[in-house]
């Protein structure tokens, strides 16, 4: 999928990942799962409501809402 079509952008270079993988745990939609190198990835982009919870709680600000979508 074209990155511009995704509801959120996860900058994996900014994701250590953190202990406990906060974003995966807090997503109310269950839209995030553990991917490569224990870092988050979207399970199903259509599940994400762009609520911003993962954006706000990521300690390294690795996630942003895709404003172009």
Residues making contact with ligand SF4 (CB under 6 A):
7-8, 10, 15-18, 21-23, 27, 29, 31-32, 39-40, 48-54, 58-60, 62-63
C-alpha distances in Å from residue 16, one per residue of 4, 25, 51: 23, 16, 23
Residues listed for the chain: 69
Closest CA to 34 of 19, 16, 15, 21: 21
Minimum CB separation of residue 3 from ligand SF4 in Å reads 15
Closer residue to ligand SF4 in complex, CB, 2/31: 31
Closer residue to ligand SF4 in complex, CB, 2/13: 13
């Amino acid at each position: 999928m074209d990155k511009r079509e995704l509801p959120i952008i996860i900058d994996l270079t900014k994701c250590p990942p953190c202990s406990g993988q906060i974003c995966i745990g807090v997503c109310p939609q269950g839209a995030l799962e553990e991917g490569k190198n224990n870092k988050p990835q979207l399970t199903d982009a259509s599940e994400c409501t762009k609520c911003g919870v993962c954006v706000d709680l990521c300690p390294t600000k690795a996630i942003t809402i895709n404003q172009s979508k």
